[in-house]
Amino acid sequence: MNRFLTLCIAALLCLPFFALPGHAQLAAAKDPANLNTALFNHTNLVAWCIVPFDAKKRGPEERAAMLENLGFKLFAYDYRAEHIPSFDAEIETLRRHHIQLLAWWFPTAMNDEARLILDLLKRHNLQPQLWVMGGGEATHGAKEQTARIVSEAARIRAIAEAAAQIHCTVALYNHGGWFGNPDNQIAIITLLRSQAVTNVGIVYNLHHGHDDLDRFPELLQRIKPYLVALNLNGMVREGDKHGQMVLPIGQGDLDLKLLRTIATSGWQGPIGILNHTDEDAETRLRQNLTGLDHLVTQLQQPTENPRHATDYWAVEDAREREKLPLYQEIPAAKPDELTPAQATPKPESFLIWHRSQGDNAGTRYSGLTQITCQNVKDLQVAWTYHSKDAAGNIQCNPIIANGVMFAPTPGKCIVAVNAATGEELWRFKPDGRPAFRGLIYWTGSNGISERVMFCAGRFLYALNPKTGHLLTDFGRDGRIELPGAAQGDFGAATAAPAIYDHTIIVPGFEKDVWAFDAVTGAHRWTFHTIPQPGEFGADTWDRLEHYGANCWAGMALDETRGIAFITTGSPKENFIGTRHLGQNLFANCLIALDARTGKRLWHFQEIRHDIWDLDIPAPPNLTTITRDGKRIDVVTAVTKIGNTLLLDRVTGKPIFPFRLRRAPTSDLPGEQTWPYQPDLELPQPFAKQDFTLADITDRSDEAHEYVLSKFKSSTTGWFRPFSEGKMNLFFGLLGGAEWTGACVDPTTGRLYVSANRIPWIISLFRDDDPPDDPHAPKTPGQVVYEQRCAACHGNNRIGIATCPPLRGLRHRMTDAAIVQQIRNGKNSMPGQPDITETDLKSLVDFLLLRDRPLPVSTEKSERPRYSFNGYNKFVDQDGYLASKPPWGTLNCIDLNTGKIAWRVPLGEHEELTKQGIKNTGTENLGGPIVTAGGLVFCAGTRDNKIRAFDKETGQELWSAKLPWTGTAPPATYEVNGQQFVVVAATGGGKLGTPTGDAYVAFALPARR
């Protein structure tokens, strides 16, 4: 900085400070060291980054009403060109809803648009802060820096002098580039104040301040004399480089520390809360408010003695775990505690297929008997429907009502198809992918019209089933916006809703369960699957989460008792438990809710603190079984690890003792595993979780040796936690059971479920290596790495398939250990004895980050930050699964006894059969249905077949080739006295088979 600017700064220090207008400051704390949590009162919060980013595209009235409902009193207005005509309406509406306009996003120069805004503000007698940004590349040398400061001060001066005419403050916005650097902003303001321009300050945004994190306490004190607003964000180190630039408050591992810095800084002005996403602004603002309130509660708690503070880097003590008893047991319900059967669905409900999963109970059972074990061999294609709008994966079990099939298409439409002929009757295209895994037909009642209801994108729709037109008396023109965030094609909800009386219940994809009036669309209740502060289960999380325990699997409904049953997924992030310590209710749970109120009646958790992505992936099934000679009502849920949760429907108590076994500890710094995990005896598991030496393929000697070499480099075992940088090998990520779920026969108490036996290999690594600079010249070590190592470990060093990651290697291996392994090899890694000493040294320096131009930070974050290397199937050298077959099975479990009645391979690799390797089964994602005709139908296998099995014995009785893989459970129905079986045959999905656009229906030959 030159002498002139230095003198300006010195002179400024002697000037009195003039408070910048725009917001009344809060009463200062007497002692700056004290926490001033009043800063975070909702009345001091500014809603920001709303207008252009709101997925709902609210207008002024809707936006102001939303802000008022959320409790905001302050608003910072940002806009795009299309919003200019509504400027006056925006201001008038904010006043009507008692919202103060604190700030206005302002042009970067005094142009016509800037003058229009100033005239508008003068006309309305408003004096908001005017937030101005800039840019520019870094300067080189003092002369260029001085010139930049002078030119930028001149630009800002023109704005500031015009703003002063209406008593407005200009705030420099840290939006990146040279201008966004707070040090440069202070230099600009210093120069302006020396020129008697005193209405310029700084608005500081944490989401643009990732580079300032290490110096934030000192920086805040430096900018505080100029600060007019401070905007919060969820913060993780280098979040701007890892796709986490904008996070909800409370999801960043630095948030509590940053809030404490702000609360003790002496800052007394407004605090901003961001939307800045393409999500619904109300949802994101609410997330931020909830997260902030949770953090403030933590701030207000007495500071822990450092000796007793939580050490988020601690490693568990295996010796302490071994002192625990080997088993725990949740006792089975006593005979007098079992609920007598009274809620079996009406018999006629088994003759229709009005909801994906067959009925509200999720039985996928049909009482139709025309197709039997004796005549199923005569089944033939009755019709094939092609949507002709795209080729892609369909995962929806279609529904049939009044002779019409309703189903989604790969082109993201809903179609009505004549269920007897396959002729299309109408189609409707919503916003988003419709009926991802289900939809429902409702007959209506008491003069209320019938309707087809489904979710797509952010919305729940209601259509007239005869015309395909929106029912405009539902919600707003036939649809309502769901409260949850929409995630790509999954939308806000994937599973089929269910209807109780006039209430439609919708499980959310990211979390939560919602209920609405099925007639009007009015919201009735919400159940939080991740409990909010003060709710039951909130203390099972050590920090507030906004995604997890999600209800993507689905639900079932006891229509007689008015109980909704929900299954949930794992906590997030998958595989990395250090950010969600605790038992994590209601993740991995089967939950019973009062359908009228959303009140939790009971819950049952399978896996505690799931760090393996082993969700309960399937919708529940309601059925009736016989115990001790009595018929009792139960609910079941099949799981990824092959368990069948079997519980009393009213009390949630297990029918058989639920055994838990002492689980292994983790050697991963920061992980805190749950001490017990499920180890069921009954019902007998239909799949397994741990991969052992005995599971290695015997397809050929070569395949066995190849897999064995990889196995020796892996960690394995029952509920084995991950170790840093090592491959962890286990079953279950695609089942056991999957979203395709099970079906039940309520007349016999038997359950049928298709299952996978796919080994997976996942690696975790410490993810605090600095990002590679693609523009930097390659170091000698990088050149050696790309020549000798990248083919297996990838140019990004995160590992390919079964090869482990090398990122974070400096945390787990010494120079000597690395040199030895490169020279001599280990397990499946070949040695490289020919590498020169020079190349070896360069390679080691590259792997340990010693050849970088900048030093690697050694400062510890509050918690370790890990990443994983993707979802990698464990396969042999020919691409077949590395485990012994069968790789896919169809299973029958007698729920009355808990015993597996039969198990058969599902699917065939025809090329292996020709080699004499039979009964392998294949990966499958289809799911079965069961009928009163004695049959189980199931598709979903790699060989593109649909099959029929004898439900008593498992004998395959019939199969037919589909044009593409059958990708959802079939449905069966009757039209004009003829029974049909229909299945979506579109291929694709997680099996990765070729894609198409078909629904194929089968029937017996027409009677003559």
Q: Is the pLDDT of residue 287 over 70?
A: yes
Q: pLDDT tens digits for 891-916?
A: 999 999 999 999 999 999 999 999 99
Nearest to 555 by CA among 633, 634, 635, 487: 635
What ranges do the domains of the chain cover? 42-300, 690-731+759-854+864-884
In angstroms, the CA 144 to CA 142 distance is 6
Looking at residue 403, the DSSP 8-state letter turns out to be T
Which residues, other chains included, contact 93 with Cβ-Cβ below 8 Å and sequence gap of 6+? 60, 61, 63, 64
What does the CA dihedral 909, 914, 919, 920 come to, rounded to 10 degrees?
-40
Average pLDDT over residues 266-278: 88
Q: pLDDT-derived band of residue 242, with 50, 70 and 90 as boundaries?
A: low
**Which residues, in sequence order, are bridge partners of residue 453?**
440, 462
User: Above 70 in pLDDT, residue 255?
Assistant: yes
pLDDT at 707 over 80: yes
| The pLDDT of residue 11 | 35
Q: What H or E segment, with its residue span, contains residue 978?
A: strand 978-985
Could you tell me the pLDDT band of residue 844, with boundaries at 50, 70 and 90?
Answer: very high
CA angle 642, 747, 751 (to 5 degrees): 10
Mean pLDDT of 208-235: 92
Whole-Å CA distances, 978 to 62, 382, 700, 972: 52, 11, 48, 11
- Residues ≥6 apart with Cβ < 8 Å to 307: none
CA–CA distance, 191 with 548 (Å, rounded to integer): 50
- Report how far apart the first and last C-alpha atoms of the chain are (Å, whole number): 99
What letter would DSSP give residue 255? H
Predicted confidence (pLDDT) per residue in 498-550, tens digit? 999 999 999 999 999 999 999 999 999 999 999 988 899 998 998 878 889 99
Whether 681 contacts 673, CB under 8 Å: no
Q: Is the pLDDT higher at 759 or at 55?
A: 759
The answer to whether 905 and 941 have CB atoms below 8 angstroms apart is no
Residue 173 pLDDT > 60, yes or no? yes
Residues 836-842 have a mean pLDDT of 94
Residue % of the chain over a pLDDT of 90? 77
Q: Are 552 and 495 in contact (CB under 8 A)?
A: yes
Q: What is the mean pLDDT of residues 878-887?
A: 97
Asked if residues 554 and 495 have their Cβ atoms less than 8 Å apart, the reply is yes
Closest CA to 267 of 21, 16, 27: 27
Q: H helices within 39-141, ranges in order?
A: 60-70, 87-96, 112-123
| pLDDT confidence tier of residue 7, bands split at 50, 70 and 90 | very low
Separation of alpha carbons 570 and 686, rounded Å? 21
Does position 19 have pLDDT exceeding 50, yes or no? no
Residue 30, pLDDT above cutoff 60? no
How far, in whole angstroms, is CA 648 from its chain's centroid? 30
**Residue 104 and residue 171: Cα distance in Å, rounded?**
10
Q: Is 738 helix (H, G, I), strand (E, B) or coil?
A: coil
pLDDT higher than 90, residue 251: no
Q: What pLDDT was estimated at residue 237?
A: 77
Which pLDDT value is given to residue 648?
98
Is the pLDDT score of 955 beyond 80?
Answer: yes
Evaluated on CA atoms 975, 365, 621, 412, the torsion sign reads negative
Hey, what are 354's tokens? 């009005």
SS3 content of the chain, % helix, strand, coil (to 5): 25, 25, 50
Confidence band, pLDDT 50/70/90 cuts, at residue 346: low
Name the average pLDDT for the chain. 91
Please state whether beta strands 200-205 and 227-231 pair in parallel, antiparallel, or not at all (unpaired).
Answer: parallel
| Whole-Å CA distances, 563 to 100, 501, 592, 606 | 45, 12, 6, 20
pLDDT at 473: 95
Q: Would you state the pLDDT for residue 303?
A: 54
Q: Decide if pLDDT at 33 tops 50.
A: no
pTM: 0.78
Residue 25: pLDDT above 60?
Answer: no
Mean pLDDT, residues 782-795 taken together: 92
- What per-residue confidence (pLDDT) applies to 3? 41
Radius of gyration of the chain, Cα coordinates, nearest whole angstrom: 32
Which CATH number does 690-731+759-854+864-884 carry?
1.10.760.10
Q: Residue 155 pLDDT > 50, yes or no? A: yes
Amino acid at the residue 261: T
Contact of 589 with 330, CB cutoff 8 Å: no
Do 364 and 991 form a contact (C-beta atoms < 8 A)? no
Q: Which has the higher per-residue pLDDT, 857 or 791?
A: 791
Q: Confidence class of residue 874 from pLDDT cuts 50, 70 and 90?
A: very high
* 3-state class (DSSP) for residue 240: helix
pLDDT tens for each residue of 39-48: 999 999 999 9
Hey, do 42-300 and 690-731+759-854+864-884 end up sharing a CATH topology, with the first three levels equal? no
d(CA 586, CA 818): 43
Pairing mode of beta strands 200-205, 978-985: unpaired
Least confident of 472-481, 717-726, 863-872: 863-872
Nearest residue to 366 via CA among 981, 975, 937, 972: 972
Contact 398, 1001 (CB under 8 A): no
Taking a C-beta distance cutoff of 8 angstroms, is the pair 275, 11 a contact? no
pLDDT number for residue 31: 38
Q: Minimal CA–CA distance to 504: which of 456, 463, 551, 454?
A: 454
Q: Which residue has the higher pLDDT, 820 or 276?
A: 820
Average pLDDT over residues 637-651: 98
* Burial zone of 315 (CB within 10 Å; 0-12 exposed, 13-18 middle, 19+ buried): middle
Q: Report how far residue 529's alpha carbon sits from residue 544's, in angstroms, rounded to the nearest whole number.
A: 12
Q: In angstroms, rounded to a whole number, what is the distance separating the alpha carbons of residues 253 and 310?
A: 14
Lowest mean pLDDT of 22-31, 588-597, 809-818, 943-952, name the range: 22-31
Q: What is the pLDDT of residue 344?
A: 60
CA–CA dist 442, 448 (Å, integer): 10
What's the average model confidence in pLDDT over 277-302? Answer: 84
Q: Is the pLDDT of residue 881 over 70?
A: yes
Q: Which residue has the higher pLDDT, 803 or 326?
A: 326
Does 9 have pLDDT greater than 60? no
Mean pLDDT lowest among 77-81, 217-221, 277-281, 680-684: 277-281
736 cis-preceded (ω within 30 degrees of 0): yes
pLDDT score recorded for residue 962: 98
What is the DSSP annotation of 584-640? -TTTTEEEEEETTT--EEEEEESSSS--S-----S--EEEEEEETTEEEEEEEEE-T
Using the 8-state DSSP alphabet, how is residue 670 labeled?
T
Q: Where are the alpha helices (DSSP H) in 452-562?
A: none
> In angstroms, rounded to a whole number, what is the distance separating the alpha carbons of residues 622 and 561?
12
Provide mean pLDDT across the span 85-108.
94
Tell me which fold the domain 42-300 belongs to. TIM Barrel (3.20.20)
Instruction: Kindly report the number of other CB atoms within 10 A of residue 772's CB atom.
Output: 12
The upper half-sphere exposure of residue 686, i.e. CA atoms within 13 Å in the direction of its Cβ, equals 36
Which run of H or of E encompasses 187?
A: helix 182-194
The DSSP output letter for 83 is: G
